Every structure is written in structure tokens, then in C-alpha cells.
Structure 1
Amino acid sequence: MQSTTLSFNNMHRHGPLFANMLRARHSTFIDHMHWDLPSANGMEFDQYDTPQSRWVCVHEGGKVLAGVRLTPTTARCGIYSYMVRDAQRGLLEEIPSNLLDEPAPIAPHIWDANRLFVAEGVSTDIRREVQMSLMGHMVRSARALGATTLLGLLPIGIPRLGRRLGITMEPGGPLLKIGGVAHRCYFVSMASKMH
């Protein structure tokens, strides 16, 4: 099992991994969860999949097991910035605008973490290992990008995983049902004991 952080600058060195990650997102969010998201050629994508973002993938033998997208809160692409802020601004009709208790931050040391998933078909005997690998690599990648904090609209079970790695996650907004799944915005501190 490997963990890789993809960017537009390095994806050419990883063969079809980026496309496979978008296919795994399609399988997870569109096929399984029935979310109404943009897709083409069996790949799910949106306006935040730009050169400003990074994608953390856990994979084995070319198969993507899990992933998450990291986007700087300073990102801009047309009218869009990052997912949590754009939802708060009312630009994303599928996400309630009251997702944060305070105005969404814009700062180079805060990155947005979203589209977190564990692929369908990951067996229960390795699922925890895959989740831990994803969370650990996400934190290391975010730190390498200069982040001290991540902000993410995440499934509510994620903080329990974070605690096992020594990652502090503080609620930043109300509990929301998105696509039938309980989510909440969390601030994830990079100043944890996790190495």
C-alpha cells in the first residue's frame, strides 16, 4: 500500500493514478452515494480540481483505495474560491450556507480538505489501515504545503480516526445532512503530536 500526493506538476510521473482517483470518486459519490456531481468518462470532478489543488491518494497496484483533495483557502478560479467558502457564499446549492459558525477564512496557512473517501470494495480487514494511512499522509502533505490548519466539511466519524493519530479536530459549524450522510465542518490543527 502506498500514499501519494498528486499535483499538476507531478501527475505525469504517476501514470493513470490521477484518472483512477477521479474514477474512484465517481464510484463512491455518484454510483454508490447517488450525489448529483459533474462527471465525464466515468470520472467525477468539479471546479476545484485545478492546478491550485493537491490530491492525496492511498493506492495499491494501480487501484485507488482512498483519497482527499486539498485546496488553499487563497485559491481563485473565476467566481469560485474553495468549497466551504463558496457554500457559505451561497454558490453551491447542494451544501447549506450555514455550514460554518464564522466567516470562512482566507489565509495561506489554512487549506480546505474535501472529497474525502474510502473506495467502495475496500475490505473491512484493511479499511482501518487505509483510513489511517490517508489521514496521516493528508496531514504530512498539508504541513509540507505550509498549512498549520485544515478546514473540511467531513463525515462526522473522521474525528475519531484523527484522535488515534494525535490529530486535533474542532467542530466549526452545525451538524448537516449532505447526500444522506452526516457531515460537519472541522478545523484540523497541524500543531499536533502526529509525525
Structure 2
Amino acid sequence: MQTTTLSFANMHNHGELMANLFRARRDSFILRNQWDLPEALGMEYDQYDTPASRWIAVHDGPQILAGIRLTPTTARCGIYTYMIRDAQRGLLETIPSDLLDFEAPIDRDIWESSRVFVSNDTPMAIRRRVHALLITEMTKAAQELGAKKVIGIIPANWPRWAGRCGLDVSAAGRVLEFEGYDSQCVSINVAATHH
């Protein structure tokens, strides 16, 4: 089992890993969760999958076990910026606009995490280890990108496991019920996290 941070600049060094990550996202979000998202060639994608983003894969060879996307809060592509800000601006009909307790930041020190998943095929016996690897690699990648904070929408049960993962997490909005799940915006202090 290993972790890889992918980008448009390095994806050619990793064979099918990037395509497999998008295939695993389709399996998780479209097939399992029944979300109405864009797909092509058996892969899920959206307007935030641009060269500005990075993708973290936990994998066993070419098999994706888990993944996450990091996008700078300074990103801009047409009318879109990043998922949380665009939801707050009313551009995304499936995410409530009152998801944050403050105005969504535009700050080079803050990145957004999104499209977080653990593959349905990941055995229960290794899921805790897979989660730990995913969080460790996300923190490391964010720090290498210069981030001091990461904001994201995660399951609302985060207080149960955040401390176990060594994360300095605080609520950044109310608990939301959308797409059939209780979720919440959080702010993760990655500057103070040492893995």
C-alpha cells in the first residue's frame, strides 16, 4: 500500500493511476452514492478537476483504495472557483449556500479538500490504516503546497475520529443534510499538524 500525490505535471509518471482514481470516484459517488455527476469513459469528473488541483491516491499498485482532491482557494476557471465558495455563491444547486459560518476565503495559504472517498472494495480490515494514510498524505501535500489550513466538507461524525488521526479540526459551519448524508464544513489547521 502506498500514497501518491498526482498533478497534471506528474501524472504521466504514474501510468493509469490518475484514470483509475477518476474511475474509483465514479464507483463511489455515481454508482454507490447515486449522485448525479458528470462522467465520461467510466470516470467521474467536475469543473474543479483542473491543473490547479492535486489528487491524493492511496493505492495498492494500480488499485485505488481511497482518494481526495486538493484545490487552492485562489483557483478560478470561468465562473467557477472552488466547491465550497461556489456553493456559498449559489452556483451549485446540490450544496446549500449557508454551509459556512464566514465568507469563503480566497487565500494562497488555504486549500480546499473535496471528493474524499474510500473505495467500497477496500477491505474493512485495512480501512483505518487507509484513512490514516489518506490524512497523512493530504496534510503533507497541503504543507508542501504552502497551505496553513485546509477547508472541506466531511461527514458530521468527524469529532469521533479527528483526534485519533492527529488532526486539529474545528467546525466551520452547521451540520448539513444533503445528498442523503449529514456533513459539515470544517477547517483543518495543517500548519500545526506534524505527521
Q: Distance in 1 between matches of 2:6 and 2:159?
A: 24
* Amino acid in structure 1 at the alignment position of 2:140: R
Partner of 1:177: 177
Which residue in 1 is equivalent to 2:4?
4
Quote the Cα distance in structure 2 between the aligned partners of 1:81 and 1:193.
26
Contact 1:151 1:187 in 2 (8 A): yes
The 5 Å alignment of 1:140-159 reads 140-159=140-159
- Residue-by-residue CA offset, 1:174-195 (whole Å, 9 max, x unaligned): 1111211111000000133432
Contact kept, 8 Å, 2:139 with 2:193, in 1: the verdict is no
- CA apart distance, 1:159: 4.4
Give the corresponding residue for 1:39.
39
Query: Deviation string for 1:78-128 (max 9, x for gaps)?
Result: 000000000000000000000001100000000000000000111110011
The equivalent of 1:82 in structure 2 is: 82
Number of residue-to-residue matches in the alignment: 195
Query: 1:194 and 1:164, CA in 2 relative to 1: closer, same or farther beyond 3 A?
Result: farther
Q: Which amino acid aligns with 1:12?
A: H
Gaps of 5+ in 1: none
Which residue identity lines up with residue 93 of structure 1 in the other structure? Answer: E
Q: Report the equivalent of 2:69.
A: 69
1:61 is displaced (CA, Å) by 2.0
Inter-partner Cα distance in structure 2 for 1:25 and 1:18: 11
Aligned to 1:126: 126
AA aligned opposite 1:169: V
* 140 and 159 in structure 1: CA distance in 2 versus 1, 3 angstrom threshold: farther
Letter in 1 for 2:86: D
Describe the SS at the equivalent of 1:128.
helix
* Paired letter, 2:51: P
TM-score under structure 1 length normalisation:
0.97
**Does structure 1 retain, via aligned residues, the 8 Å contact 2:143–2:191?**
no
Tell me the percent identity. 52
Is 1:92 aligned to residue 100 of structure 2? no
The answer (yes or no) to whether the contact 1:88–1:99 under 8 Å persists in 2 is: yes
Contact (CA 8 Å) 1:53, 1:71: kept in 2 or not?
yes
Q: Could you state the TM-score of these two structures normalised by the residue count of structure 2?
A: 0.97
State the alpha-carbon separation in 2 of the partners of residues 110 and 163 from structure 1. 21
Equivalent in the alignment of 1:192: 192
For the 8 Å contact 1:2–1:60, the answer to whether it is kept is yes
User: Which sections of structure 2, spanning at least 5 residues, go unmatched?
Assistant: none
Q: 1:139 to 1:2 in 2, by over 3 A?
A: same
